[in-house]
Amino acid sequence: MDLIPVITIGVAAVLTALLVIFSKNTVHSALWMVGNCFCIAVLFLLLNSQFIAILQVIVYAGAIMMFILYAIMMLNLRENGEPATKKSLFIFRMALLILFLICLTNLCIGFSPLALKGDMVTQNMDHFGEVNLIANYIFSEGLIPFELISVLLTAAVVGAVYLAKKE
Amino acid sequence: MIDYLIIPVIKLIVIFGVCLFFIAYTTWLERKVLGHFQLRLGPMRVGYHGLLQPIADGIKNFFKEEVIPENADKAVFLLAPIISISAAIILLAVIPFGKPITLFGKQITLYLANPSIGVLFILGFATLGAYGTILGGWSSGNKYGYMGGLRASAMIISYELSMAFSVIAIIMLSGSFSLVDMVNAQQNGIWNIIRQPVAFFVFFISGIAELNRIPFDMPEAESELCCGYNVEYSSMKFALFFLAEYTHLFVFASLVTTLFLGGWQGPALPGVVWFFIKTFAVIFICIWIRATIPRLRYDKVMKLEWKFMLPVAIANVIATGAVMALLG
């Protein structure tokens, strides 16, 4: 794999991610986030996983960002000042960030290609993104977590509706 | 060198040239057919029966004054037509126009690319095209444009679902995401429209809704929004939105042809000719629908999707799966 495109796209992904945070305008933030999704899709493409790349585009850049944009436009957040942030939350946020990084490191070590068995081995990395391989993995070995995640998502939707209906 | 550079570049120029020519003349076709449906002649002045009208329109748009409203968000305002047109034109790359042909001893495929995720590529980038509409409406700083953009995003979010679910039934039948494989799976003469009539209707209706055409043209309902999302656009920027709309119409028609009408397959005539005959038949039906059915009310459009189309599409996927499992 060539390193130059990976580094270029990686830098672009980080830059767009930073712009998401530092844009004053909410819609601009959302747009930079679409750009960020695209950079990540290209990274997946460079890893030979076309399917995951296009899912990234359809699900995140297409559907979810469309929802977010719709919400932003519905609330008409066109010109607004900086929302007041509480200084006291700073330590909590830093703690959360560090916890997240620790979890991420653990995840990276646990899921290194050497630790995987079955279809998802390094020899198969060239076909990693092929639909058959992903489907076989999700619907056989990964079936229980997959179903649990769908239950979790449904629960989240039900919870959101309940919270919205309460008032 | 020849295989990797020259042939693809020639194919690129030919495919995009031919398609853009056809798309420009789709505008002429629409005006002409609509005219005859309404017992008038349509464009008649420029050339024989108005045949040069698209060129005249292009030149006219080119020389119009460019207006950017004062309270527009300038960067996004300029970006929106670009997103719209580029997300539309990129879709032409994966459409299979015909069987591979042999020219000067070389086999040439009549498509630019055949990714293993062809149909997902089209679904994905077709949604991205809607960003042009939404952002165009939002950035022009106009109430009507804003309402149009808002409606566009609501439409896309809803109708995308039933469209994807109707495509899943076709994917199950052909066992592949690639559009070329889908055409080949219909080689036995039984087109998918016969095997999947429900998917066809759901796909067709949600396609017309995604194209924002009458009876679903919520984002640009003239009588309510005085032209909607593109109300502040002038000159070539307006023309780009217009062109993107017709490119989407063309891509939608060729997608219907590929998924449901057997693609380039047909007797006697060469495949490419069959492809364009079927595509223009679908475009004609779209214009026919536009001439016949009045615009639906906004809440009825939403009800139609969430209470009828989406459940039907999901039931169709389940039924297809059950039948496939029973027949082995």
pLDDT in tens, B185-225: 887 777 888 788 888 899 999 888 888 777 877 767 666 66
> Using the beta-carbon criterion (under 8 Å), do B73 and A55 form an inter-chain contact?
no
Residue A167: the pLDDT is 63
Q: Is the pLDDT of residue A81 over 70?
A: no
> Using the beta-carbon criterion (under 8 Å), do A54 and B131 form an inter-chain contact?
no
For residue A106, give how far its alpha carbon lies from the nearest alpha carbon of chain B (Å): 33
> Which residues 6+ apart lie within 8 Å of A66 measured at CB?
B127, B130, B131, B134, B153, B156, B157
| Sequential DSSP letters for A109-135 | HHT-GGG--TT-SGGGGGGTT-HHHHH
Range of the structural domain that residue B237 is part of: 2-327
- Whether the CB of A29 is below 8 Å from some CB of chain B: the reply is no
Which stretch of B6-20, B211-225, B294-308 has the lowest confidence by average pLDDT?
B211-225
Confidence of residue B315 (pLDDT cuts 50, 70, 90): very high
Confidence of residue A116 (pLDDT cuts 50, 70, 90): low
Confidence of residue A155 (pLDDT cuts 50, 70, 90): very high
SS3 B101: strand
C-beta of residue B209 within 8 angstroms of C-beta of residue B308: no
Q: Tell me which of A121 and A130 has the higher pLDDT.
A: A130
Which of A19, A38, A70 to mutate against chain B (most B CBs within 10 Å)? Answer: A70
Backbone φ and ψ of A96, nearest 5°:
-60, -45
CA distance B43 to B260: 33
Confidence of residue B133 (pLDDT cuts 50, 70, 90): confident
For residue B292, give how far its alpha carbon lies from the nearest alpha carbon of chain A (Å): 31
Q: Tell me which of A151 and B195 has the higher pLDDT.
A: A151
- Whether the CB of B165 is below 8 Å from some CB of chain A: the reply is no
Residue B108's H or E segment, with its range, is strand B106-108
Kindly list the residues from chain B whose CB atom is less than 8 angstroms away from the CB atom of residue A73.
134, 138, 146, 149-150, 153
Mean predicted confidence (pLDDT) in A139-167: 87
Residue B292: the pLDDT is 87
C-beta of residue B249 within 8 angstroms of C-beta of residue B241: no
Tokens 């042999």 sit on residue: B102
Nearest CA in chain A to B176: A131
- Whether the CB of B109 is below 8 Å from some CB of chain A: the reply is no
Q: Is the pLDDT of residue A76 over 80?
A: no
Could you tell me which of B324, B222, B313, B204 has the C-alpha nearest to residue B259? B204
> Which residues 6+ apart lie within 8 Å of B310 measured at CB?
B161, B162, B165
> Using the beta-carbon criterion (under 8 Å), do A70 and B131 form an inter-chain contact?
no
Return the number of other C-beta atoms located less than 10 Å from residue A160's C-beta.
10
CA distance A159 to A114: 39
pLDDT in tens, B65-114: 888 888 777 888 888 888 888 888 888 888 888 777 777 767 777 777 77
- The CATH-assigned architecture of domain A1-78 is Up-down Bundle (1.20)
| Sequential DSSP letters for B253-284 | HHHHHHHHS-TT--SSS-HHHHHHHHHHHHHH
Kindly list the residues from chain A whose CB atom is less than 8 angstroms away from the CB atom of residue B138.
27, 73
C-beta of residue B14 within 8 angstroms of C-beta of residue B7: no
**For chain B, how many structural domains are there in total?**
1
Name the average pLDDT for chain B: 83
Backbone φ and ψ of B102, nearest 5°:
-110, 125
Kindly list the residues from chain B whose CB atom is less than 8 angstroms away from the CB atom of residue A28.
76
C-beta of residue A55 within 8 angstroms of C-beta of residue A131: no
Beta bridge partners, B108, equal: B101
Name the average pLDDT for chain A: 79
C-beta of residue B29 within 8 angstroms of C-beta of residue B53: no
Kindly list the residues from chain B whose CB atom is less than 8 angstroms away from the CB atom of residue A34.
131
**For B53, what's the count of Cα atoms within 13 Å in the CB-facing half-sphere?**
17
